[in-house]
Amino acid sequence: MRYELTIEATAKKHLQSFLEYAQFEPAAARFVEVLVKRVHILRDFPKLGRLGDKIDGVQYRFLLIQKWRAIYVVDDEMRSISIRIFLHPSQLFDISVYLE
């Protein structure tokens, strides 16, 4: 049975910032589409990504997609995955900086 996947507002905001920075270049828009499609593999393989930091009792995982990091949380009880952040390789990897 597949897990439900949600892309949180913070992650969407990071992608929107990237698109604004790239001035809506067609290649950037296509890349964002690829990035979003690729995280959907987590619905079938939720623990595919590597273990990351544990912050405030929450275990984070990250999936590398063409050098970008999709930071997410798996809830096995609810069978859900929450994508919290998409990070560009040039951004800090201390995820606590990006959590709201």
What is the average pLDDT across 68-93? 88
Average pLDDT, integer, range 60-89: 92
Q: Which pair of tokens denotes residue 74?
A: 């798996």
Q: For residue 53, what are the contacts with CB-CB under 8 A and spacing of at least 6?
A: 60, 95, 96
The CATH number given to whatever domain includes residue 23 is 3.30.2310.20
Q: Answer whether residue 100 is part of any domain.
A: no
- Classify residue 91 by its DSSP letter: S
Number of domains in the chain: 1
What's the confidence (pLDDT) of residue 53? 83
Indicate whether 11 belongs to any domain. Answer: yes
Confidence class for position 70, pLDDT limits 50, 70, 90: very high
Q: In what order do the strands lie in the sheet with 58-65?
A: 4-7, 80-87, 68-75, 58-65, 50-55
Domain around 58: 4-91
Taking residues 59-86, what's their average pLDDT?
Answer: 94
| Residue 31 or residue 88, greater confidence | 31
Is 77 part of any domain? Answer: yes
Q: Which residue has the tokens 């984070």?
A: 60
Q: Is the pLDDT of residue 59 over 90?
A: yes
Q: Which residue has the higher pLDDT, 69 or 24?
A: 69
